[in-house]
Amino acid sequence: MKLVGDMLRRPEAAAGLAILVLLALLALLAPVLFPGDPLKIAGRALTAPFTDPAFPLGTDRLGRDVLAGIVHGARTSLFVGLAAALAALAIGLSVGLAAGFAGGIADEALMRVVDAFQIVPSFLLALAFVSVVGASVPVVVLAIALGAWADPARLTRAEVLSVRGRDYVAAARIAGMHPVEIALREILPNVLPPVLALSAIIVATAILTEAALSFLGLGDPNVVTWGSMIAEGRNVLRSSPFLSIFPGLALVATVVGVYLLSEGLTNALAGEASVERKKPRRVGKSPPLPCRASPPQGGRSASGGNPAQPEAPEVGETALHPISPLEGEMPGRAEGGAGAESDRPARRGQEDLLCETQDLSVTYRDQETPALTNLDLAIRAGERLAIIGESGSGKSTFARALAGLLPEGAEVEGTVDWAAGAAPLAGRDLGFVLQDPSASLNPVLTIGEQVAEGARRHLGLSWPEARARALDMLERVRLPEPEKLLAAYPHQLSGGQRQRVAIAAALAARPGLVIADEPTSALDMVVQAEIVALLDDLVRGAGMTLVFITHDIALAAGFADRVAIFKDGALVETGPAAAVLAAPRETYTKMLVASHRDLASPPLVGEIRA
Amino acid sequence: MLIANPTRRSFLQAGAALLASTALPAIALAESAPAGGRLVVAADSEPKNLNPAIVASNGVFFVASKVIEPLAEAAFAGEDGLSPRLATSWEGSDDGLSVTFRLREGVTWHDGKPFTSADVAFSALEVWKPLQNLGRIVFAHLEAVETPDAATAIFRFSRPTPLQLIRNALPVVSSVIPKHLYEGTNIATNPANTQLVGTGPFRFAEYKPGEYYRLTRNEAYWDKEQPKLDEIIFRVLPDRAGAGAALEAEEIQLAAFSAVPLADLDRISKVPGLAVVTRGYEALTYQLVVEINHRRKELADLKVRQAIAHAIDKTFVVDTIFLGYAEAATGPVPKNAPQFYEADVPAYAFDVAKANALLDEAGYAKDANGRRFTLKLRPAPYFNETRQFGDYLRQALAAIGIDAELVNADSAAHQKAVYTDHDFDLAVAPPVFRGDPAISTTILVQSGIPAGVGFSNQGGYANAELDAVIAKAAETIDTAARTALYRQFQKLVAADLPLINVAEWGFITVARDSVLNVASNPRWAVSNWADTALKT
Amino acid sequence: MTRALRLTTRRALSSIPVLLIVVILTFLLLETAAGDAVDAYLLSIGGGDAAIAETLRQAYGLDQSMAARLWLYLSALARLDLGWSVAFDRPVLGLIIERLPNTLLLMGSATALAFAFGSTLGILAGARPGSLRDRLLSTLSLVVYAIPGFWLGLVLAIVFAVQLRWLPTSGIETIASGRTGLSRAADIAAHLVLPVGTLALIYTALFLRVMRAGMAGIWRLDFVLFARAKGLSRVRIVLRHVARNALLPLITMLGLQAAAMLGGSVVIESIFAIPGFGRLAQEAVSGRDAALLCGIIVVSAVLVILVNLLVDIVYAALDPRVGTAERGA
């Protein structure tokens, strides 16, 4: 199973598994290592540990070998843990499947029983059950399972309800498959992974519960368990602490092992989900991007792009801002010509050059192939550059590399030269708009706060001032009733409105450069066009530079000055939008253009703006 | 005379260090003992009914004996091993049909009403005989109590009742409760069962469930010199390790009834300021007994029972399980009841080979796995030691090819399984010897006891000869003749093994040095503590 | 406020069948027990014969069938009468009222403490997933969480109460001290340090882990990337964006854990001799006291429901989405 491999690559899971394998081996080999009854009175009572080679860990109150007890105890403790989890799982899965499948009154009734078991403290239940029925291993197992099955039942039911409506299950139903068969073949495989992660917790809880029950004198006296050893030892905790420390350590180690394994399993499950979404696994501290100052400016090299140290590249402030303040005077834009011949303009004399990458390669952690290879690309101040490519072409990686937002562990080679001398500071010099507006806004903070926070930080405003700025920005992005919106939450807005908010937030601190990473692909067609038009307007109005990343060549064609075509992490070709689209040089570009023509989509943006 | 120290032999074995640390308790003369102070004592249980006239158990006596007094208390020195309390003298008639008690005069109840013979008559007829677990045996033939004057009570019996039995039973069965509070009420549910009113040296002041019982000095106690203490507090400490910790932290000053686990005594005896006291339980001997269900075919065979007796290493039990704080038992009467104890009984030395031979002889050969048969073993859950002995017995039986399956149950389940449902083959029980075999010992082997009576013969054992001896002793008035019958009783039990007596033990008290007059009588923990004092 | 009221009413109504099931299960459990309340009582008084047992059974109505007793109990419960405890010979309600405050004090302070420390440490660990600090805190919390509570309690008691004598070994307050007011409160607080500390230590580990795991998950979300893209300070991203959202699963877990916490107090109450709910339950079980055990379980179920209600209210205050379609049920 892929999941297992994925899980074992995680150190915590590997460590947990190592502990458990060792314990399992001990448990399996116990009859060989220590033949006979571990409860046999074998030597002098209370032999201290490390004094008698026959009893390396000493003997207990009656003269039983502590080491033999611990090794044999592993059998009981692991058995109790596993059996209780299995029993809980069996009950939970059946009830959950039954309830989820049956629905209606049966579901309602079953869930009330589940509720009942969930609100009764499970230790109290186990305590009562064992005291009343009598302490033996099967009873303890059952008692623990009775207190633990409700969670898997609830989880299973929820999973069943969520999968029940899916196509393949519906299809199986229509095909006349028996519900039990559907449950076993279609639903169980979906339900099992999360339930397994839960059952690891049940194993750990079961082992601890058994120990606590034994501590209260409710253990099975016919077998040796760590719990009963600790309970025996507690009477002499002061004089012979080893009697409870050794089994205690074994217990802690086991529980730690189980937790580690469960954590690995949970993370592997989460990881699998994130792989499906093709998102970087973890966004944390990113490595400094190697930046090289442009010789003419004679600036200094600075390690930018690390949001953890936003204070670092202060030098860039004066250098970058004058180029394109949002409300500032609009400097001349590089129209057409300049980029027509080469994408590597000579550095000297190119006054409008904003940034240039050389041999830029990015490799994500744990990845063999780089996401971006040897990329050379220049961005000119004030232009609107569209980066076009299909998913996996490295266009988003490029955007994040520019913004210094690469995930932790990403390896970067090559250089990014900024005309200003230092990398722009995200938020202040560079605004970034993400693809999915419903994910890029914090669900629990108000719109006002989320738009204002960037402005407050970078423009040195007080909160009221920043709020006023936010109000202004919301007006600029043409959102209705901006005053009300300040206090609203993201979930109260439509997708298009949310993206407007995101744009407002990205531009609130008046950055000179805006990078929009597929800002419209999560939106429907009409809204897409509106958002592009808005961005275009804002950028034009303020003379900002726009890097627009999209897979939609038609969209780009409508407003970009220049396009850059990406494929498989490399640049295919670049040039003025009109030129490239009219006469693509590379086959891939031709194909892209052709496929677009085949669809016969009109240049949406152009029409709307017209 | 009672043996003052049953564990001296064990002490000598255990070595000088232990001996030094278990020095005899400080005894101060009553007159010279300092007065005043609060004594805080550990209590491990909270009896639901605190009335010692109804519930004659040590858990109840522990608290209630300070408030409600018996007619007489056990004494190390004194005629018949008794010292007078509410009765000043007692005399039996030659025919065994009456006993005359002279009562102490000038005694008042804690509510100020005078104590009279009417209270004694009421307690005996309305409570001890019909309601009390032990009184119903001792006073089975009590017909009437005459009260010719306020200070005389004459007990009249329908059949001869030995004075020896009455005397031996007095400390346990004769707690007197006030007639004026109980008459005409439902005695079992009377509020005075929890808010005790007595004549004792301490008044019952307060009970906070789960926390403590508080007793305060009775200023009007009949002995003007006593009590010495102002206050006694029984602090509820349900956890077994709690008492030791609280003693060391000086939060309590005394823990009786082995509240400090035996295994911790060696260490705690070395803690400065703490003393381990083994005296004061001489008349509270607990017996470690293997109860046998004779309905099991194998166990009905004397050879099998003998084999089991031979398989038990009593030395191990005494030295390892009881850490020397016990004696090996020879029969149903403990050694520290010398007026009855018979040493010349069949003995069962620890001899595994002989045990195996006996089992082979009985026809229970070992199978391929070395097993002869399987038994269900139920150790009583009341004490650490009964459980540990259960663990040991399982191993001892394994050595002779008997596979014992231990069944752990809580008190209620154990009680029901053994004494009502007979769902056991072997059980480990801790019966108490209460000064006379007729009170709680003969019932362990006597036949014809209905199911449901706890701590009785529920193993289906019936031996006509033994029953006859028991019946005869019950109505033999002559002390010598009666004693002789009980010696015969011991021989019969040891020979036929209706049950196996393994060991006898008293408890241990751990107290701070400052507590004086600990263990001043053989039932000290459950006596009135009027002379107990605190060094200032 | 009206929303909370509606929520309460709905919860209360939907919990009635649940409570009914709980009561029936409790009765069934004690019915399977060997020995009833009278056996247990007789044992506590040193034994008695069959006749006494019969009389007592009649007196307490234990001679009736289970169905009849269950019906009697339920109809009394409907009148909010929790019945009569055979083991204590007192009304169940009085017993519960006596013991409940101690447990609430114990659990409440342990939870509050653990919440404060657990979430703070969780934020410290989750601020930089994978950092040394995170690994250290995560490992430590894992080990602490794996230590059996009773063992931790015993060791803490030996160290701090017996060896160092900084704190009392057990009990809820100095017995019969006659203290009042502030001095009494201080005394109770001193007694609670060890039991609360023991529980809080374990729960801190749990809360830390939940908080940390929640934050680790949230770091992967787009809005955190967006917050970074806005160039916000690290502190603001960690607290306002990551931790603020990770608080939600922590709050949810508080509700889920409420029942487990009540159960976990049994052992701690026994070790530290605190006359609380857990110990009462133990006594009810050993006394085969159906009415008392049912009372305890019903009251703890109601408590759990109340805690969950509180959790819902807090959750609603923290998460603006509650009440809209996104989080319906």
Q: From the first residue on, what is the mean pLDDT of each consecutive set of 10 residues in chain B (536 residues)?
A: 38 37 51 82 86 89 95 88 93 92 95 95 94 87 94 94 92 94 88 92 91 93 91 87 86 90 87 91 92 96 96 94 93 92 95 96 92 94 90 94 90 86 94 91 91 87 95 91 95 96 94 91 92 88
| Among the ranges given (A168-177, A367-376, B228-237), the one the predictor scored with the smallest mean pLDDT | A168-177
What pLDDT sits at residue A271?
61
Rounded to an integer, the average pLDDT of C55-67 is 78
Which of B321, B387, B413 has its CB closest to that of A134?
B413
What pLDDT sits at residue B180?
95
One-letter amino acid of C77: L
Shortest Cα distance, chain B CAs vs residue A213, angstroms: 12
Shortest Cα distance, chain A CAs vs residue C80, angstroms: 19
With beta carbons under 8 A apart, name residues in chain A contacting C16.
Answer: none
Q: How many CB atoms sit inside 10 A of residue B405's CB?
A: 14
At C30, the pLDDT band (50, 70, 90 cuts) reads confident
Q: How many CB atoms sit inside 10 A of residue C226's CB?
A: 26
With beta carbons under 8 A apart, name residues in chain B contacting C172.
Answer: 211
Mean pLDDT of chain C: 82
| Alpha-carbon span A250 to B387, nearest angstrom | 25
At A419, the pLDDT band (50, 70, 90 cuts) reads confident
Q: How many CB atoms sit inside 10 A of residue A487's CB?
A: 11
What pLDDT sits at residue A597?
59
Q: B478 or C90: which carries more pLDDT confidence?
A: B478
Closest CA to A206 of A188, A183, A227: A227
pLDDT at residue A326 tops 60: no
To the nearest 10°, the Cα dihedral for A128, A129, A131, A134?
A: 180
Rounded to an integer, the average pLDDT of A510-534 is 83
What pLDDT sits at residue A325?
35
Rounded to an integer, the average pLDDT of C106-122 is 92
What pLDDT sits at residue C163?
83
| Alpha-carbon span A544 to A536, nearest angstrom | 10
Closest CA to B373 of B308, B459, B434: B308
Contact B56, B269 (CB under 8 A): no
One-letter amino acid of A316: G
With beta carbons under 8 A apart, name residues in chain C contacting B212.
Answer: 175-176
What pLDDT sits at residue A275?
38
With beta carbons under 8 A apart, name residues in chain B contacting A60.
Answer: none
Rounded to an integer, the average pLDDT of A112-117 is 88
- Are the beta carbons of A307 and C224 separated by less than 8 Å? no
Give helix then strand counts, H and E, for chain C: 13, 2
Shortest Cα distance, chain B CAs vs residue C48, angstroms: 6
Which of B241, B390, B410 has its CB closest to that of A221?
B390
- Tokens 């007829």, residue? B125
What pLDDT sits at residue C3?
60
Rounded to an integer, the average pLDDT of C173-178 is 79
Q: Which residue of C has its CA nearest to B55?
A: C45
Tokens of A516: 């929009």
Which of A403, A441, A492 has its CB closest to that of C223?
A441
To the nearest 10°, the Cα dihedral for A411, A414, A418, A419?
A: 180
What pLDDT sits at residue B362?
94
pLDDT digits (tens, 9 = 90+) for A536-550: 888 888 888 888 888
Q: How many CB atoms sit inside 10 A of residue B425's CB?
A: 24
Residues of chain B whose beta carbon is less than 8 angstroms from a beta carbon of chain A are 240-241, 244, 261, 263-264, 266-267, 316, 320-321, 379, 381, 384, 387-388, 390-392, 394-395, 398, 405-410, 413
Shortest Cα distance, chain C CAs vs residue B95, angstroms: 30
Phi/psi of residue B352, each to 5°?
A: -65, -40
Q: Which residue of C has its CA nearest to A150?
A: C256
Tokens of C96: 């519960």
pLDDT digits (tens, 9 = 90+) for A23-62: 899 888 888 888 878 888 888 878 888 888 888 888 888 8
What pLDDT sits at residue B391?
92
Mutation target for B interface from C32, C42, C44, C88: give the one with most B CBs within 10 A: C44
User: Within 13 Å and on the Cβ side, how many CA atoms surround B187?
Assistant: 22
- Are the beta carbons of A230 and C148 separated by less than 8 Å? yes
Closest CA to C35 of C61, C62, C55: C62
Contact C4, C312 (CB under 8 A): no
Shortest Cα distance, chain A CAs vs residue C11, angstroms: 12
Contact B432, B286 (CB under 8 A): yes
Shortest Cα distance, chain C CAs vs residue A252, angstroms: 5
pLDDT at residue A311 tops 70: no
How many CB contacts within 8 angstroms connect chain A with chain B? 71
Q: What is the largest CA-CA distance in chain A?
A: 99
Which of B59, B235, B451 has its CB closest to that of C50?
B451
- Which chain A residues in 228-267 lie under 8 Å from chain B, judged by CB atoms? 234-240
Query: CB-based contacts of B234: which residues, under 8 Å, 6+ apart?
Result: B41, B42, B43, B62, B63, B212, B213, B214, B215
**Helix, strand, coil % in chain C, rounded to nearest 5:** 75, 0, 20
| Alpha-carbon span A358 to A348, nearest angstrom | 16
Mutation target for A interface from B312, B369, B410, B416: give the one with most A CBs within 10 A: B410
Strand A562-567 with A384-388, pairing: parallel
Query: CB-based contacts of B471: which residues, under 8 Å, 6+ apart?
Result: none
Contact C87, C176 (CB under 8 A): no
- Are the beta carbons of C170 and B209 separated by less than 8 Å? no
- Are the beta carbons of A239 and B263 separated by less than 8 Å? yes
Tokens of A75: 């059998």
Rounded to an integer, the average pLDDT of C213-228 is 84
DSSP E strands in A364-508: the ranges are 372-380, 384-388, 411-418, 430-433
**How far lies B80's CA from each of B167, B168, B441, in Å?**
8, 8, 20
- Please tell me if residue B232 touches chain C, with a CB cutoff of 8 Å: no
- Are the beta carbons of A45 and B320 separated by less than 8 Å? yes
- Are the beta carbons of A491 and C321 separated by less than 8 Å? yes
With beta carbons under 8 A apart, name residues in chain A contacting C19.
Answer: 116
What pLDDT sits at residue A301?
34
Contact C187, C179 (CB under 8 A): yes
pLDDT at residue A347 tops 60: no
What is this structure's pTM? 0.81
Which of B214, B235, B415 has its CB closest to that of C39?
B415
CA B243 to the chain's CA centroid = 21
- Tokens 């099975």, residue? A220
Mean pLDDT of chain B: 89
**What is the distance between the terminal CA atoms of chain A, rounded to a whole angstrom?**
56
- Tokens 């030892």, residue? A233
Shortest Cα distance, chain B CAs vs residue C279, angstroms: 9
Q: A256 or C5: which carries more pLDDT confidence?
A: A256
Alpha-carbon torsion (C97, C100, C105, C108), positive or negative: negative
- Are the beta carbons of A252 and C147 separated by less than 8 Å? yes
Q: Which residue of A has its CA nearest to C128?
A: A284
Which of A135, A136, A236 has its CB closest to that of B264?
A236
Phi/psi of residue A459, each to 5°?
A: -100, 5
At A444, the pLDDT band (50, 70, 90 cuts) reads confident
What pLDDT sits at residue B100?
96
**How far lies B13's CA from each of B5, B9, B17, B268, B342, in Å?**
14, 6, 11, 19, 25
Rounded to an integer, the average pLDDT of A242-267 is 86
What pLDDT sits at residue C7?
64
Contact B166, B138 (CB under 8 A): yes
Which of A120, A215, A428 has its CB closest to that of C22?
A120
Mean pLDDT of chain A: 77
Q: Is B387 left (phi over 0), alpha (psi -120 to 50) or beta?
A: alpha
What pLDDT sits at residue A286?
41
Contact A599, A557 (CB under 8 A): no
- Are the beta carbons of C169 and B242 separated by less than 8 Å? yes
- Please tell me if residue B274 touches chain C, with a CB cutoff of 8 Å: no
Which of C47, C89, C162 has its CB closest to that of B248?
C162
**How far lies C74's CA from each of B149, B446, C17, C32, in Å?**
55, 45, 12, 19
Q: Where are the alpha helices (H) located in B269-313, listed in sequence order?
A: 302-311
What pLDDT sits at residue C323?
61
Q: Is A162 left (phi over 0), alpha (psi -120 to 50) or beta?
A: alpha
| Alpha-carbon span A483 to A475, nearest angstrom | 9
What pLDDT sits at residue C227?
86
In the sheet where B254-255 sits, what is the strand order? Answer: B202-208, B212-217, B231-236, B38-43, B254-255, B509-512, B274-277
Q: Where are the alpha helices (H) located in B301-410, listed in sequence order?
A: 302-311, 314-316, 352-362, 384-399
- Please tell me if residue B150 touches chain C, with a CB cutoff of 8 Å: no
Shortest Cα distance, chain C CAs vs residue A582, angstroms: 35
- Are the beta carbons of B406 and A221 separated by less than 8 Å? yes
B476 DSSP assignment = -
- Are the beta carbons of A121 and C259 separated by less than 8 Å? yes
With beta carbons under 8 A apart, name residues in chain C contacting A307.
Answer: 228, 231-232, 234, 237
Q: What is the CA radius of gyration of chain B?
A: 23
Rounded to an integer, the average pLDDT of A475-490 is 86
At A351, the pLDDT band (50, 70, 90 cuts) reads low
pLDDT at residue A555 tops 70: yes
To the nearest 10°, the Cα dihedral for A190, A194, A197, A203?
A: -90
